[in-house]
Chains A and B, each alone.
Chain A
C-alpha cells in the first residue's frame, strides 16, 4: 500500500423521486438511497461495503463512478473532481475506474459475442492492434477461468456463474486502477468464488488495484477487505478495520448481520432471526434509523440521530449506546469436521506426491 489517497467521498447523497398516479403522476416523496456518505480509499486498498438489501450499496457504487448523478456531495478520484468533468474527460477517466455489475445478465449485451463484449472496451480505451486485442481477450478469459472457446459464444449460452465471470473479465479489460465490484462472487459456487477472490487479491498485489467490494457474505469480505463499511438505510453505521469490525462489532446492526451468517457445518440448528418491521427509505425512522429493530433502543434513540464517533482502534460507529452494549462473544463454531479434515489431508498428501494434476 502506498498510502496515497485514491478516492475521497464527501457527504454524497442520492434521492430518487417517487411518483404516484398513472395519468397525472405527482411526486409523493423520495427514496433516500444514499444519504450523506463520506469515506476515503487509499491506493491498493480494499474497502468492503456490506448492508441490508436495498440500503443503497449499488447506488453508492454507481455514484462513485458517476454512472448516475448525485443529488449532492462530492467525489474525488486521484485528486480529480469527478462531478465537474465534461462527458469526454469523464469517458477517458472511465478507463481507470470500472464496475463489475450485480446483475450480470442485464449488463451484458445479449447480441454481442463474448469476444466483442471484451474487445470493445480494449479497442476504445487501449487502442491495441487486432492481434494484441485477441491475445488480451484470451488472457482475460483464462484469468477468470474460462477457455478461449468461450469467446465465440453469446451471454445466454452461459450459466449464471460463467456470466458473472465475463463481467469480471470486462471490468479488467482496460487495466483500471479502481474497480467497484458489486456482489462479484455471490453468484459463484464456493470453489470458483475462492478462485475469483484469490484472483482479485493477486491483481491487487500485481497492479496496485483498489477495490470497493460490495458484498453480503461477511466471511468473504473478511478475507478480501482491509476495511469494512456497514450501511443501513443509506448511511454508514460502522466503518473500520475488518478484524475489529468482525471480531468485536459495536453497532447493533453489525451484530445482527454477523449473527445471521449461516455456517457450513453438520447439525446446524435453524435459528430464528429477530424480525422487526422493515423500515422504508421512503420514510426512514426518526433518530437512529435502526431503532425500530434494535434490541438496545431507548428513548434517546428515537429522538436524536447518533453521530459517528471514532474509537481507539480508528473505527467509527454511529450508535448512542455503543459504550453500554455487552461485549461480543468470541467466534464459536465447529469448523471442518475431523473425518472430512482427514480425507482432505489424504488429498493434499497425494497432491504433493503428484504435483501436476491436469
Chain B
C-alpha cells in the first residue's frame, strides 16, 4: 500500500512562476473498523508565492485531511498518506523525518486549525501559546516574545490585548479563540499559510478585517495561502484560484472568476445554487439531493453520479479524468459543458 504511485502531473496552464507548494496525487487513507476510508484519494494542486488558493467542497470531502497531510499532522494510525508527492520550495516533504517537518512547521509553514479548542492548550495562557513559537523559531527572549504576543493579539483585533494576553482560552469567546489561533499562525511570518475555515466563528466586520490582515501579510511577505472555506463570498473576494473537492477527489479547478461565471461540474453548480442570497426570498434554500457516499464504499465511475441528475451509464461505469475546458480551468465530468446535453 505504501508505494508512491505518481499520478499524471498537473499540466494545466499555470503562470510562469514555479509554485511554492505542489501537491500531486495525494492519497491519505484511514484504517477503521468500518473499512478503509479513502478520505483523500488522488488530489493534486499547486500554489504560488503571493497567491491564494481556495479549497471548497462538501463537509467530509477531505479538505482538512488534505491540509493535515501537508502538515504531517494526520493521526497515524489510523491514518496514513499512502501515495503522492508534496513539494515545498522544490523539496519533497514526503519521506522527510518528523523532526525536519516540525522545524518547517511554525517557522515557514503554519496552519490555522478549523476548531480552535482542539488545538489551543486549555491550561496555558494565550500569551504563552503565541510566545512558544517565537522563542523556538525566532530565538526571542521571554520579554520580547510577550511584547510580540500582545502585538499579535492587537493585530487580530482582540480588545485590551495587554490584559487578554494572560487569559486562558475558556475565558474568551469563540471568535476570540479563533483569532488567538490566527495570531499563533501568523506570529512567525510564515511563507505558506494553510487556513482551515479561519473565519467561521467571526462576524462579517471582524472577518473582513482578518482577511485584510492576511492580504497585507501576503503583500508584504509574498505568503502563499491555502484557504479552506465554505463561504463562497470569502472565496470570491480573496482567492486567485479555486479547487472544488468532492468525496476525496478534485472535481473542478479554475481561476476564481471562472468558478462563479463558468462553473461546469454539476456539484460546483449545486454549491452555487445553495448559497443563501439577499436578492432571493425563496421559502426553501436549494440543496443538492442525496448525501456523500460512505468513505469505504465509493461508487464506481464518477463519485458524484448517484446524486447527479444528468448521470449516464458511462458516468456510473468510468471515472471521469480532470480535463481542460478553458485556460487554467479543468473539470472532471464526462458531460461538461452540460448545456450540450440539456434539451
Contact = CB atoms under 8 A, between A and B. Distances in A.
Q: Chain A contact residues (Cβ within 8 angstroms of B): what range?
A: 35 or more
A325 interface: no
Contacts of B30: 157
Given A188-B230, A261-B233, A266 B117 contact: no
B308 A53 contact: no
Contacts of A128: none
Contacts of B277: 219, 264, 333, 335-336
B274 A194 contact: yes
Interface in B9-37: 30, 32-34
A164 B278 CA distance: 25
B325 interface: no
Contacts of B201: 53, 102, 183, 186
B236 A190 contact: no
Nearest to A358: B306
A145 interface: yes
A51 B174 CA distance: 13
A275 B212 CA distance: 10
A268 B239 CA distance: 10
A257 interface: yes
Interface string B134-160: 000000000000000000000001111
Contacts of A162: 59-60
Contacts of B262: 337, 339-340
Contacts of A335: 277, 279-280
Contacts of B287: 191, 194-195, 198
A245 to B, nearest CB: 12
B176 A189 contact: no
A197 interface: yes
Interface stretch (A4-12, A116-124, A342-350): A342-350
Contact of A282 (B163, B258, B270, B342): B163
Given A271-B208, A282-B159, 9 more contacts: A159-B64, A162-B60, A189-B230, A222-B278, A257-B203, A267-B257, A272-B212, A273-B205, A357-B289
21 contacts: A106-B115, A106-B118, A160-B64, A161-B60, A190-B276, A191-B270, A201-B283, A261-B278, A262-B233, A267-B260, A273-B209, A275-B209, A278-B157, A280-B160, A282-B159, A336-B277, A340-B260, A347-B309, A357-B290, A357-B307, A357-B311
